[in-house]
Amino acid sequence: MTETEIKKGLAGVVVDTTAVSKVNPETNSLLYRGYPVQELAATQPFEAVAYLLWHGELPTDSQLAALRAEERAQRALADNVRAAIDLLPLEAHPMDEVRTAVSVIGASDTAGGGSVLDASGSPEQNLARSVHLYAALPAIVAYGQRRRRGQELVPPRDDLDYAANFLWMTFGEEADPVVVDAFNRSMILYAEHSFNASTFTARVITSTLSDLTSAVVGAIGALKGPLHGGANEAVMHIFDEIGSAENVVPWLETALAEKRKIMGFGHRVYKHGDSRVPTMKAALDTLVAHYDRPEVAALYDALEHEFVSRKGIYPNLDYPSGPAYNLIGFDTLTFTPLFIASRVTGWTAHIMEQTASNALIRPLSAYNGPDERHIDGYVPDATAQ
Ligand code: CMC
């Protein structure tokens, strides 16, 4: 009998097809529905990219206007969602807070028709619920940060686009266009990345014919971990530990001697650099100039230079986005929830794709426990308490 080959972590395993995005590590490229993500980030509002991920094509002016109207109508924090958030301790991790809020939305969502018990997964219902989550998440994330800071809720503004309104609800003041642009780019870069751990989780849940919100809640759980979305938060902890560029070398030597993972570096698929990094680094540079914080760029460059030259492992998107979000004024604990607000578009596009051509995802395992044995031979340990 031949030994079963185990692909630990499903590394290198192709599990299905997708038309949502294409990652090509050889050419260092990422395409959303065929478009290079760099081009989308440089030219499009996040709303248009959300539309592209869901529908497969960029919107016409009237399609974009319709999506924007739908999004604006669902921006405000719902009373029951706010009440659920307020029940949580202030020390709760914001990822748990957002996961709870999304769960509450799912239990009362009638977007796309049907009663609250009807989560049929029809194309119309799934699309409407996707738009609903995408529209509702900024208020949830913004309120979470404000609540932790002891600040009042800021209601949404109908006259601002998605990114500008997100910053308005978080900080209670209109952001500079430079900041809005950098934030919009980050939202686009985070939106989709093929069969990453959280998207795959969402597809596994969807494959059982569970509902869209349950799949998103599961995806949030997968995203929380520091090997996945939690890395942008972890990058900022590293920056805080290091302090300034001159401390990079001794800090890195100690960290490597302790065999620590340096957060924000490395990727399961990209081995020669993450295609999203140059665009996000350029956005970070504009923020560094805008806020006149050259010491942030100095630390960033020093750590990148030292780590890449010693290990040949390159930064991933979380490396520039962590300090970028810090400069904008987000609390470190809010970084991964921002990732949710963006990635919900990619997750839901995959959920709809999975629903359209479903097969239950149920892999096999190779058993390596004890050989068959029988209860007759079982003797309880008399010394056990
Ligand atoms: N710091 C130090 N060593 C590293 C790092 C790192 N960031 N990344 C990889 N390595 C080393 C690792 O220790 C291992 O060395 P050895 O062969 O000597 O044991 C080798 O490189 C292979 O690493 P691996 O963890 O087995 O490879 P993987 O394909 O499973 O790793 C990864 C992918 C993302 C889990 C890993 O690079 C990592 O833990 N990075 C830090 C966390 C991070 O930034 N995550 C965000 C990923 S991108 C955004 C997202 O998807 O959410």
ipTM of the complex: 0.95
CA distance 109 to 136: 12
Report the number of distinct structural domains present in the chain.
2
pLDDT at 2 over 70: no
Residue 307, both tokens: 């780590």
pTM for the model stands at 0.94
CB of 266 sitting under 6 A from ligand 1: yes
Q: Quick one: 289 and 344 in the same domain? A: no
Residue 347 pLDDT > 50, yes or no?
Answer: yes
Do 198 and 84 lie in a common domain?
A: yes
Q: Ligand 1: distance of its center to the CA of 228 in Å?
A: 10
Q: Does residue 53 have a pLDDT over 90?
A: yes
Q: Are residues 215 and 106 in the same domain?
A: yes
User: Is pLDDT above 70 for 385?
Assistant: no
Residue 309, in any domain of the structure: yes
Catalytic residue (one of 93, 118, 161, 228):
228
Domain hosting 259: range is 231-328
Expressed in angstroms and rounded, the spacing between residue 293 Cα and the centre of ligand 1 is 29
- For the segment 265-307, what is each residue's pLDDT rounded down to a tens digit? 999 888 889 999 999 999 999 999 999 999 999 999 999 999 9
CATH number, domain with residue 114: 1.10.580.10
Does 86 map to a domain? yes
Contacts of 254 (CB under 8 A, 6+ apart): none
Does the C-beta of 147 come closer than 6 Å to ligand 1?
no
**Range from 107-111, 179-183, 315-319 carrying the lowest mean pLDDT:** 107-111
The pLDDT value given to residue 1: 47
User: Is there a single domain that holds both residue 78 and residue 186?
Assistant: yes
Average pLDDT score, the chain = 95
pLDDT digits (tens, 9 = 90+) for 28-46: 889 999 999 999 999 999 9
pLDDT tens digits, 130-140:
999 999 999 99
Give the tens place of pLDDT for each residue, 164-215: 999 999 999 999 999 999 999 999 999 999 999 999 999 999 999 999 999 9
